[in-house]
Structure 1
Amino acid sequence: MRPDSVNKRWVFFSTFLGYVIYTLSRRSFTYSMPALMSSLNLEKSQLGVISSSWSLAYGISKFAGGVASDRISPSWLYCIGLAASGISCMAFSTASSVTTLAAVWFVNGVFQGFGWPAITQLVNNWCSGTELASWWSAFSAAGNVGLTLAPFIITGLVGVYGWRTMFFGVGCVCVAISAAFPYLIPDAPVSPLSPRSERSKQGAGPSSSSLLELCRNHMILLVSVSYFLVSLIKEGWSNWGLLYLIQNKQLDNSVAGSVMFLFEAGGVCGSLVTGFASDYLLRVLQWESSAVARIPLTMLYGIWSACAYILLHWIADSLILVYISAFSIGCSTYGIICLLGVMSLEAAPRSLAGAAHAVTALAGQMGGLSAGFPLGWIATHYQWSGAGNVLMLTALSIPVLLALAYTAFATTTAATAKPPAKKA
């Protein structure tokens, strides 16, 4: 299909749909954990090894994929990742030992890491600067849509057909859909007045910035540490939430799946609303640095997340309160992640924007890695109360860190601001 004959909305719709399939494949392991435990007699720590192998591979691959997307076709990178993810799911359905399962799921994480960097390039190529934040939120919500559907689709398929058939079927869908995407999603429009040309002119010009200077950027360091913490919370709930609800809250599998649905539904709402709310806050505060202006809303989301974890872990004794807690955790954590992604781009020089997001995303993946085996080990040796306390304390640390950082950045901005000129 010719790039100049493609409607931008069709490109976004196709990419959105593809990322929903990406996330369904990604969560097929999480929602088959109970079946794997009973079928293969696995312990929570062994499931944590498999989960951590995926997180490690995904973090490394996402960083490398960001570099590769500058050199090869993002649409082909997107499709190769989806197809290979499907093949690895089919291979997973034939494995039985922990070592083989972890190795195959590691491969799945490698190719899953191609998805988001390719989307980032496609958004940059097809969107003008004024559309970037809105579409960033929209594609963040695409992942949440897939994760919202996953508890019902995956647990339903596992219950009816078994976990092996489920993995094989999900893999077949990924491979089949990926075959059409290179012909449906051009890398960029060809019009000389295209959004890509506009953004290229805005970002043109020499830059003395280096990767070392990027690592010394205080805002990038703040975003990276925050990304690590919030990813530990999100992946901790995503990986272990179903088992936590079944074993600690004594919910049956279907009810626990509905709670996980509300967690992902909250993520959809948080991702969509956050972009518009942060832009409004940016206009109201009128900060010189737009990344600093997004800290207050991020801090409020952090307070919301901490309160939701306290409610779930210590207070919730009814299903209604569990539902409210799960929705709040999803909305707040995904909202924070969306804001941190935008802040990483705004805090860095244009010539290093892609590297900045790759660095902060890598920190997030390390947080996700910590939510695998380490959190599983804590749950095994200190029960779910110990794991819940870790996540609750992590949630409490985010608004404290952001409040201290906001005070420091606001003070620095006020000190360096030029005084108004005196009237003659």
Structure 2
Amino acid sequence: FTAGILSDRLAAKHMVCFGLIVCGVSTLLFSTGTTVTQYSIYWFLNGLGQGFSLPSLLKLTKENSSPVRFATNWSVVLISVNFAGVSNPFITAYLSQTYYWRTSVIISGILTLMVATLCLVLLETPAKDASGVDTNKQQNSGNDKQNDNTRVIDILQYPLLWMCIISRFIVAVSRQGVSDWSQIYLVSEQHLDVYMSSMFISLVEIGGICGKLIAGRISDMLLKRRLAATGAHSGADQSTLKLMARLPVSIAMLSLNALALHLYCFHIRHNTSLPVLAITALLIGINTSGNVVNLSVIATEISPKRAGLCSSLVNLAAKVGGIFTGLPLSLIANTYSWNMAFILIEIVCIVCVCMQLP
């Protein structure tokens, strides 16, 4: 959260490099740890470094993307996280078996520091014109000069920002709720076998990768068409045009996610056919992960100069949603059932869609 706010004031390149350096150094220190306290401190620092990197990567992507390529490029960046999650267990297992586990951790730390060095050398800070203003910011913000002096208190009064915050919370609850608790729900309440429930979760992850690309591409295509229709040099508010183009994607994905949750709650049984199971899983993965991309992009375009603050608030909502899928959701399931818990998520998702409709 703090890193997002700082990214409005500091160069994204330097924050990304700083975050990577913190991650690399803490990883190397982790390999030297001998007590639980040391491991906890070093891994806390590692998480701190990751927290500095992600919001800055969003800003860095925006600085190096045209408005009609921003969402697509950001989706590619986020997909790298999915590929890392898939490949990392295999790489870690190989290094741990081939070498000592501390050696594999040292290799990871050294690679992180090497990437930080490459970023510091190769990444370019946006060029500035004679007045000292970033030319890339001028390109991205267009005619949004009225947003440049927006106060923080004014931003917190934006209905669209709160809509993004609520939507991101719902998306996080849907995504993590299904990922974390589907094994229990499908096996214990719907009597699917472990293989089918595991396949369901895998299909959700596959759908997530596809959903990020789909959301980014469609969002940029709609923006490009709207800009072409209004004219590149028109006096229209560029920020409003971007939001009007990208918001329908969020509404559509939330609606499809509600449909997928309905299938998940009322049509997934022990005798459900494989195609229905696969379609439900893919729909959940595509629409939840796709909305992660789209809502992140929308947040940065609400107020260009306060993009870091807006994206931090939206990401904070996602963290709160992740917390809700832990003890609170399990308490609801314990009091009623897991089916009722997911029905509640579906209802909230439908309410969120209704809030976004004009």
TM-score calculated relative to the size of structure 1: 0.65
- For the residue of structure 2 that corresponds to 1:294, the secondary structure is helix
Moved more, 258-267 or 316-325: 316-325
Return the offset for 1:171.
5.4
* Residue pair 1:229, 1:394 contacting (<8 A) in 2 also: yes
Letter aligned with residue 285 of structure 2: G
Is 1:215 aligned to 2:156, yes or no?
Answer: yes
1:297-320 per-residue CA deviation (whole Å, 9 max, x = no partner) reads: 221111111111111121023244
In structure 1, C-alpha distance between the alignment counterparts of 2:25 and 2:328, rounded to whole Å? 28
Letter aligned with residue 389 of structure 1: I
Aligned length: 332
1:325-356 per-residue CA deviation (whole Å, 9 max, x = no partner) reads: 111101011112211111112221x2212222
Select which of 245, 270, 273 maps to 1:293: 245
Return the offset for 1:81.
5.3
Return the offset for 1:87.
7.2
Q: Percent same amino acid among aligned pairs?
A: 22
Match of 1:198 in 2: 135
* Residue pair 1:306, 1:392 contacting (<8 A) in 2 also: yes
Return the offset for 1:292.
2.4
CA separation of 1:118/1:193 partners in 2, compared to 1, >3 Å: closer, same or farther? Answer: closer
Select which of 168, 178, 184 maps to 2:118: 184
Match of 2:202 in 1: 261
* Residue pair 1:270, 1:330 contacting (<8 A) in 2 also: yes
Gaps of 5+ in 1: 1-59, 408-424
Is 1:314 aligned to 2:248, yes or no?
Answer: no
- For the residue of structure 2 that corresponds to 1:209, the secondary structure is coil
Match of 2:346 in 1: 392
Return the offset for 1:149.
5.5
What do you get for the CA RMSD once the two structures are aligned? 4.1
Return the offset for 1:234.
1.5
* Residue pair 1:227, 1:337 contacting (<8 A) in 2 also: yes
Match of 2:53 in 1: 115
Letter aligned with residue 188 of structure 1: L
CA separation of 1:70/1:379 partners in 2, compared to 1, >3 Å: closer, same or farther? Answer: farther
Is 1:275 aligned to 2:204, yes or no?
Answer: no
* Residue pair 2:33, 2:39 contacting (<8 A) in 1 also: yes
Return the offset for 1:377.
2.4
1:8-45 per-residue CA deviation (whole Å, 9 max, x = no partner) reads: xxxxxxxxxxxxxxxxxxxxxxxxxxxxxxxxxxxxxx
Moved more, 357-366 or 305-314: 357-366
Matches within 5 A, 1:39-54: none
* Residue pair 2:329, 2:341 contacting (<8 A) in 1 also: yes
In structure 2, C-alpha distance between the alignment counterparts of 1:381 and 1:142, rounded to whole Å? 39
Letter aligned with residue 310 of structure 1: H
Return the offset for 1:66.
4.2
Return the offset for 1:191.
8.9
Return the offset for 1:153.
5.2
In structure 2, C-alpha distance between the alignment counterparts of 1:200 and 1:238, rounded to whole Å? 38
In structure 2, C-alpha distance between the alignment counterparts of 1:238 and 1:249, rounded to whole Å? 16
Letter aligned with residue 211 of structure 1: V
Select which of 360, 382, 401 maps to 2:314: 360
Match of 1:12 in 2: none
In structure 1, C-alpha distance between the alignment counterparts of 2:176 and 2:224, rounded to whole Å? 32
CA separation of 1:64/1:92 partners in 2, compared to 1, >3 Å: closer, same or farther? Answer: farther
In structure 2, C-alpha distance between the alignment counterparts of 1:107 and 1:380, rounded to whole Å? 35
